[in-house]
Amino acid sequence: MNRRTLLLALGVGVPAGSALGWGLSEWMLRSKRASAPRSSGMQQPIGSPFALVDHTGQRVTDATYAGQVRLVFFGFTHCPDVCPTGLGYIAEVLDGLAPQEAAAVRPLFISVDAGRDSPELLASYVTNFHPTLIGLTGTEEEVAQAAKAFRSYYNKVPTGGDSYVMEHTASIYLVGADDMLRGFLDTHEPVPTAVAKIRLALGSAALGAAKAEDRSS
Amino acid sequence: MKRRTFVAALPCMVASGASAQAQPGLFAENAWSRPALARIGTAVVYLSLRNGGSQPVRLLGGSTPVAERVEIHESVVEGRVARMRARPGGVVVPPGGVIRFEPSGLHLMLIKPAADLKAGQGFTLTLNFENGATFAVPVQVAMREPAAGHGAAH
Ligand SMILES: [Cu+2]
């Protein structure tokens, strides 16, 4: 009942519109790729290899999360605005999914600030946003390799004294269970749009809609 | 629409004594902050500044008992890359205009919070204007923007 209401509420405008937008942007990227083969497009394998440590202190690699739909966001804990905005958005999106759907998604926050972001600091940081959020960090080299695996950019910018900020790719990667880049979430888009994108990646969108239709007929 | 009514009905801004005279018609709306850890050393405040007066007003910065310094910053996302820059010259609110300090854009950055900021708590942020006016604004700490959904008026 709950689920059906949710589906109905989302049913008309948002998924149709966002699916259209999604398809369109994918198509545009594809056609762009045809003329510029080196541009990073959709449906390319992404995110390997890497070896990092999670916020509980466990060593992990790309294989740890292989076969699962992933949301991947690069940032740093000292980032006051863009990172909390991205992580807050991810938290809202996860809460917008049905529990069994959310349980099938691995949200990864990869620190680009190896110098300051220890697993222990990440633990106190990520759990503020969502209980399922996973913080990853490592040595400078490990972090650099992880960023490279996702074709992600970051750079240290001194801000006077020994303080600094990191500039970094702010996209939220949506990676399919097949390790393909399915696209990006955009914090300017309404949460239901991101939910619809993830459902597409989970392959549960069609399934859920069919179920709702079954029940109403 | 609903949001503006809510804001107008709520005395979000308290003019502090004499400065109220200096700047009639200036309103701070929807001031909120995110939970933050003191050991990390940064926090943020978002709000909207509405200038109903006939003169432009320049916000230079602010101060708060909960942090060492307050600076005006701006996040800029260009080609998927997020950068942050200081706005030491402040921000002008034109007459009849609104300046929004909002996620992934202009923000008031709190440097070195004295203690953790927790959702549900409140604190005061004093805004300093070029003309000498100051305003004490009550700020609410929350996980997400209070009383406004995503994608409200851009
Ligand atoms: Cu800032």
Q: Are A70 and A105 in contact (CB under 8 A)?
A: yes
Chain B residues in contact with A89 by the CB 8 A cut-off are 150
Q: Helix crossing, A191-202 with A82-96: angle to 10°? A: 60
Distance from C-alpha of A167 to C-alpha of A173, rounded to nearest angstrom: 17
The total of structural domains in chain A comes to 1
Known binding-site residues of A for Cu cation equal 79, 83, 168
Tell whether A141 is covered by a domain: yes
What phi and psi values does residue B9 have, to the nearest 5 degrees?
-75, -20
Tell whether A114 is covered by a domain: yes
Distance from C-alpha of B32 to C-alpha of B118, rounded to nearest angstrom: 12
Candidates A119, A150, A147; CA nearest to A135 is: A119
Residues A64-109: tens digit of each pLDDT: 999 999 999 999 999 999 999 999 999 999 999 999 999 999 999 9
Q: How far apart are the first and last CA of chain B?
A: 13
Tell whether A12 is covered by a domain: no
Q: A130 to chain B: nearest residue by CA?
A: B143
Please indicate if any CB of chain B lies within 8 Å of the CB of A17.
no
CB within 8 Å: B109 and A81: yes
Look at phi and psi of residue B90 and say left if phi exceeds 0, alpha if psi is from -120 to 50, else beta.
left
Please report how many Cα atoms fall inside a 13 Å half-sphere around the Cα of residue B95, on the Cβ side: 6
Domains delineated in chain B:
5-141 (2.60.40.1890)
Please indicate if any CB of chain B lies within 8 Å of the CB of A189.
yes
Taking a contact as any Cβ pair under 8 Å apart, which residues of chain B between 120 and 149 contact chain A?
143-144, 149
Share of chain A above pLDDT 90, in %: 69
Tell whether A10 is covered by a domain: no
Task: Give me the average pLDDT of each 10-residue run along chain A (217 residues).
Answer: 37 36 37 40 82 98 96 96 96 96 97 97 95 97 97 92 91 94 94 96 60 58
Query: Could you say which of A88, A91, A125 has the minimum Cβ distance to residue B37?
Result: A125
Residues B18-48: tens digit of each pLDDT: 233 336 788 999 999 999 999 999 999 999 9
**Alpha-carbon distances, residue B92 vs B29, B49, B57, B125 (angstroms):** 16, 10, 5, 18
Q: Are B33 and B103 in contact (CB under 8 A)?
A: no
- What count of other Cβ atoms lies within 10 Å of the Cβ of residue A168? 27
Output the six-digit token pair for A200: 């597409």
Nearby residues of A128 by Cβ (< 8 Å), 6 or more positions away = B35, B37
Q: Helix crossing, A205-216 with A191-202: angle to 10°? A: 100
Output the six-digit token pair for A64: 């740890």
Reported ipTM: 0.79
Task: Using the predicted structure, report yes or no on whether residue B150 has a pLDDT greater than 50.
Answer: no
Tell whether A15 is covered by a domain: no
**Alpha-carbon distances, residue A121 vs A117, A118, A128, A137, B96 (angstroms):** 6, 5, 11, 10, 44
Query: Could you say which of B34, B41, B82 has the minimum Cβ distance to residue A168?
Result: B82
**Residue A124: which CATH number?**
3.40.30.10
Q: Are A55 and A134 in contact (CB under 8 A)?
A: yes
Tell whether A20 is covered by a domain: no
Q: What is the pLDDT of residue A161?
A: 86
Q: How confident is the model at residue B79 (pLDDT cuts 50, 70, 90)?
A: confident
Distance from C-alpha of A77 to C-alpha of A80, rounded to nearest angstrom: 8
Candidates A177, A186, A176, A179; CA nearest to A73 is: A186
Tell whether A110 is covered by a domain: yes
Domain with A60 in it: 25-32+43-216
Please indicate if any CB of chain A lies within 8 Å of the CB of B37.
yes
Q: What is the pLDDT of residue A7?
A: 33
Share of chain B above pLDDT 90, in %: 67
Please indicate if any CB of chain B lies within 8 Å of the CB of A81.
yes
How many angstroms is it from B109 CA to the middle of ligand 1? 5
Instruction: Name the more confident of A110 and B150.
Output: A110
Residues B91-136: tens digit of each pLDDT: 999 999 999 999 999 999 999 999 999 999 999 999 999 989 899 9
Give me the helices (H) in A36-139, please: 62-65, 82-96, 99-102, 119-126
How many angstroms is it from A85 CA to the middle of ligand 1? 12
Q: What angle do CA B42, B46, B51 make, to 5 degrees?
A: 140
Tell whether A48 is covered by a domain: yes
Known binding-site residues of A equal 79, 83, 168
Q: What is the pLDDT of residue B2?
A: 40
